């Protein structure tokens, strides 16, 4: 199907209208955003165009690509810069000599790394399911997809927005930013350039830029007007700041985040904790974030027993689906502005 420039422009305008901020702390719209975590990654190999396409078909509002850099400066979509878990690179004889061990943000990692390949070389590699024993149905699609670039993901979102006449955004994560900066492959500038090229350099653009570290978001704020999300985890803290994530999501910490970001992305257990093997009462996190003018987009809700509290598990196998609807309902009731899911169709159904 041919998409005209006029239809793409109309889709972009509609997207800006729907996702317009300043209502960040008020939930953007009448219902929370559904963010497809690496696409419909519970049903297709993660971070592939097939996974993103299925997520859109299931009703996702945003598709989430994790960004890594290539040797020749392109932004590609992988959760890690070490790619042996999600591609067939380890079986490719022509790339056997690329296997190496290096330090990635303080951790020793062995494998094959995006920064050691050109984009053309990466395009010869094929993707596969990260968790084949847990997700065998997804593993049936191994070998069918290339590693996409971020531009290809934007192009997909734009074309599907026009085809479906509804806005679809992208939610890129800056991964291993300090690692790439040390290699002369700083990410913030190239990402800002891509957003500007695609008409996404505004506070109302259908895009959120996320990162677990602080300085990349602060730098990105000087380069682009696009919304920014500070990711936080129950343990540890940013690699580039002398603080913990728990301190960052205190009432005072939220005010600090609001000076450089427009939202916060916590592990969903930081909003709805597990208590006695089940779901406990909501924490103050959402209220504190909203008081600071921040949106809240928790990550990542997964349907399998392996990822759910004991009292929500159904069936005997880790791969069996549990009562994931209980998690969705609890997060929606807590007032979140969006959530990440490996199964966006289930999240949409529960929201409805």
The model's pLDDT over 100-158, given as tens digits with 9 standing for 90+, comes to 999 998 899 999 999 999 999 999 999 999 999 999 999 999 999 999 999 999 999 99
What was the pLDDT predicted at 343? 98
Spatial CA neighbour of 303 closest among 37, 111, 33: 37
Task: Report the DSSP beta bridge partners of residue 226.
Answer: none
Q: What is the C-alpha to C-alpha distance for residues 210 and 171, in angstroms, rounded to an integer?
A: 7
Q: Kindly tell me if the per-residue pLDDT of 14 is higher than 70.
A: no
Phi first, then psi, for residue 19 (nearest 5°) are -95, 20
Task: Kindly state the average pLDDT of the residues 62-90.
Answer: 98
Interior/surface letters 225-259, b for 16+ CB within 10 angstroms, e for the rest: ebbbbbbbbeeebbeeeeebbeebbeeebbebbbe
- Name the E strands within the chain: 33-37, 62-64, 66-69, 75-77, 100-104, 107-111, 169-170, 173-174, 209-211, 228-232, 263-266, 274-275, 278-279, 295-296, 338-341
What was the pLDDT predicted at 167? 93
Q: Kindly tell me if the per-residue pLDDT of 207 is higher than 90.
A: yes
Phi first, then psi, for residue 146 (nearest 5°) are -85, 165
CB 110 within 8 A of CB 101: yes
What was the pLDDT predicted at 105? 86
- Name the E strands within 212-311: 228-232, 263-266, 274-275, 278-279, 295-296
Q: Kindly tell me if the per-residue pLDDT of 10 is higher than 70.
A: no
Reported as a single tens digit per residue, the pLDDT across 156-179 is 999 999 999 999 999 999 999 999
> Given 74, 79, 290, 297, which residue is catalytic?
79
- pTM of this structure: 0.92
What was the pLDDT predicted at 31? 80
* 79 in active site: yes
Cβ neighbors of 19 (< 8 A, separation 6 or more) are 28, 29, 167, 169, 204, 205, 206
Calculate the average pLDDT of the chain: 92
Task: Kindly state the average pLDDT of the residues 77-89.
Answer: 98
What was the pLDDT predicted at 29? 54
* 176 in active site: no
Q: Which domains does the chain have, with CATH numbers?
A: 5-76+148-351 (3.20.20.190)
Q: Kindly tell me if the per-residue pLDDT of 6 is higher than 70.
A: no
Q: What percent of the chain has pLDDT over 90?
A: 90
Reported as a single tens digit per residue, the pLDDT across 212-239 is 999 999 999 999 999 999 999 999 999 9
What was the pLDDT predicted at 30? 57
Spatial CA neighbour of 206 closest among 143, 162, 147, 258: 162
Residue with token string 């997909």: 156
Q: What is the C-alpha to C-alpha distance for residues 232 and 249, in angstroms, rounded to an integer?
A: 8
Q: Kindly tell me if the per-residue pLDDT of 12 is higher than 70.
A: no
Task: Kindly state the average pLDDT of the residues 85-110.
Answer: 96
Q: Kindly tell me if the per-residue pLDDT of 19 is higher than 70.
A: no
Q: Please calculate the CA angle 208-187-240 and round it to the nearest 5 degrees.
A: 85
DSSP letters for 180-213: HHHTT--SHHHHHHHHHHTT--STTSSB-EEESS
Interior/surface letters 80-108, b for 16+ CB within 10 angstroms, e for the rest: bbbbbbbbbbeeeeebeeeeeeeebbeee
Q: Kindly tell me if the per-residue pLDDT of 240 is higher than 50.
A: yes
């Amino acid at each position: 199907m041919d998409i005209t420039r006029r239809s793409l422009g109309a889709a972009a305008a509609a997207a800006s209208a729907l996702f317009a901020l300043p209502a960040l702390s008020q939930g953007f719209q009448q219902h929370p955003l559904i963010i497809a975590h690496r696409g419909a990654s519970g049903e297709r190999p993660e971070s592939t165009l097939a996974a993103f396409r299925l997520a859109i078909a299931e009703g996702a509002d945003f598709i989430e690509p994790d960004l890594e850099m290539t040797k020749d400066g392109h932004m590609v979509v992988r959760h890690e810069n070490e790619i042996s878990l999600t591609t067939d690179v380890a079986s490719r004889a022509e790339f056997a000599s690329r296997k190496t061990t290096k330090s990635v943000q303080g951790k020793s990692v062995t494998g094959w790394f995006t920064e050691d390949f050109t984009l053309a070389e990466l395009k010869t590699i094929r993707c596969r399911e990260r968790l084949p024993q847990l997700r065998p149905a997804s593993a049936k699609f191994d070998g069918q997809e290339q590693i996409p670039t971020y531009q290809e993901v934007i192009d997909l979102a734009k074309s599907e927005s026009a085809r479906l006449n509804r806005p679809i955004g992208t939610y890129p994560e800056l991964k291993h930013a300090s690692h790439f900066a040390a290699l002369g492959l700083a990410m913030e500038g190239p990402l800002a350039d891509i957003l500007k090229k695609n008409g996404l350099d505004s506070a109302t653009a259908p895009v959120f830029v996320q990162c677990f570290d602080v300085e990349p978001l602060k730098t990105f704020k000087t380069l682009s007007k696009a919304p920014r999300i500070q990711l936080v985890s129950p343990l540890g803290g940013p690699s580039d700041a002398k603080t913990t994530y728990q301190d960052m999501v205190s009432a005072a910490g939220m005010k600090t985040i609001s000076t450089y970001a427009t939202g916060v992305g916590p592990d969903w257990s930081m909003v709805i904790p597990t208590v006695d093997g089940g779901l406990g009462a909501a924490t103050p996190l959402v209220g504190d974030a909203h008081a600071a003018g921040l949106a809240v987009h928790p990550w990542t809700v997964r349907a399998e027993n392996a990822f759910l509290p004991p009292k929500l598990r159904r069936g005997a196998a880790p791969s069996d689906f549990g009562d994931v609807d209980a998690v969705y309902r609890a997060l929606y009731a807590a007032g979140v502005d969006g959530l990440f899911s490996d199964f966006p169709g289930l999240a949409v159904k529960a929201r409805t």
